[in-house]
Amino acid sequence: MSEHTARRTPHLPGETGVWVFILGDMLMFAAFFIVFMFYRGEDVALYAKSQLTLNQHLGAVNTFLMLSSSWCVAVAVETARGGRPRGAQVWLLSAMACAVGFVVVKFFEYSEKIAAGFTLTSNDFFMYYYMLTGLHLMHVLLGLGVLNYLWFTLRAPPAASTLRTLESGASFWHMVDILWIVLFALLYLVR
Amino acid sequence: MAGILKLRVTWLWLFLIAATVASWEFGHGLGFGENIRLSTTAVIVIAFIKARMVILDFMEIRHAPPGLRLLLEAWTLGVATTLLALYWQSA
């Protein structure tokens, strides 16, 4: 058990402002998930038919990449707490590599769909597909910037504020992971 | 590097990967024969179990102030329940 896991006093991982942003984002996506499921119920046949054209393998690969990236960030935080900023940087680089992989797969997937004639305006399913995955992709790109910033933060001599910044960025990145976990189930797997 | 095996998050990550493979199978309709409703219920339940694991142990909400933990537990349970209710109502 790490020192942190054993700690008894409650600890907010990151800054309060970041958490306000994270909670707001999670509420917004919760509304989107519910709206999607509601409208799916209005036309199950159309949603089921459209879903069949999605590439489940690419969706699953991206889930593996997202989970792995999130894990790398969690290990980076633990490593930094253990007083090894260089090690933490390596873990952040691994996390960024997974995130870049996610973006590459997503663009490949979009181009495959567009080439097959499925666009934002094809039908309601594809409107939600592009809107939800696109909004999530924007979070991934923003997250990549955050991870990059964290990497630079760890170059400076360690300070208490460094860990706090690291926790804030890590919490945001885990949220991006959580949102994808639900999106993968909703868009690719729910039948 | 060998130290990562001692970390709880590493074992959780392996579990999350395994859970993804399981839900992928349910997404193909396996596991409950032709009963699509049960497969989909499993898919949704697994997704929110995964989300909760990331919340509690990757985000470290297990050790966060109780108010924040309560909010996030409510999010997980609330969204999962609403989605399942809407699904069963429509199917």
Q: For the segment B45-83, what is each residue's pLDDT rounded down to a tens digit?
A: 999 999 999 999 999 999 999 999 999 999 999 999 999
Cα–Cα distance between A167 and A138 in angstroms, integer?
21
B7: closest CA of chain A, how far (Å) = 7
Q: Is A8 within the bounds of a domain? A: no
pLDDT in tens, B7-46: 899 999 999 999 999 888 877 756 666 788 998 999 999 9
pLDDT in tens, A83-140: 999 999 999 999 999 999 999 999 999 999 999 999 999 999 999 999 999 999 999 9
Q: Do A190 and B40 touch (CB under 8 A)?
A: yes
Q: Is A97 within the bounds of a domain? A: yes
Structural domain count, chain A: 1
- Which of A38, A178, A186, A187 best tests the B interface by mutation, with the highest count of B CBs <10 A? A178
Task: Quickly count: other Cβ atoms within 10 Å of residue B78's Cβ.
Answer: 12
CATH of residue A166: 1.20.120.80
Q: Do B90 and A68 touch (CB under 8 A)?
A: no
Cα–Cα distance between A80 and A167 in angstroms, integer?
10
A72 class by beta-carbon count within 10 Å (0-12 exposed, 13-18 middle, 19+ buried): buried
Closest Cα in chain A to B74: A27
pLDDT computed for residue A1 by the predictor: 43
Given a contact cutoff of 8 angstroms between Cβ atoms, the answer to whether B48 and B73 are in contact is no
Minimum-distance CB partner of A5 among B8, B10, B68: B8
Closest Cα in chain B to A58: B24
Given a contact cutoff of 8 angstroms between Cβ atoms, the answer to whether B16 and A60 are in contact is no
**Residue B6 belongs to what domain range?**
2-90
B87: contact with A, CB 8 A cutoff:
yes
Structural domain count, chain B: 1
DSSP for A76-107 reads HHHHHHTT-HHHHHHHHHHHHHHHHHHHHHHH
**Residue A117 belongs to what domain range?**
14-189
A178: contact with B, CB 8 A cutoff:
yes
- Which of B35, B53, B54 best tests the A interface by mutation, with the highest count of A CBs <10 A? B54
DSSP for B4-65 reads GGG-HHHHHHHHHHHHHHHHHHHHTT-SSTT-HHHHHHHHHHHHHHHHHHIIIIIS-GGGS-
B48: contact with A, CB 8 A cutoff:
yes
Q: Is A9 within the bounds of a domain? A: no
Minimum-distance CB partner of A63 among B8, B20, B63: B20
pLDDT in tens, A7-66: 568 999 999 999 999 999 999 999 999 999 999 999 999 999 999 999 999 999 999 999
pLDDT in tens, A1-18: 444 555 568 999 999 999
B53: contact with A, CB 8 A cutoff:
no
Closest Cα in chain B to A4: B63
Q: Is A165 within the bounds of a domain? A: yes
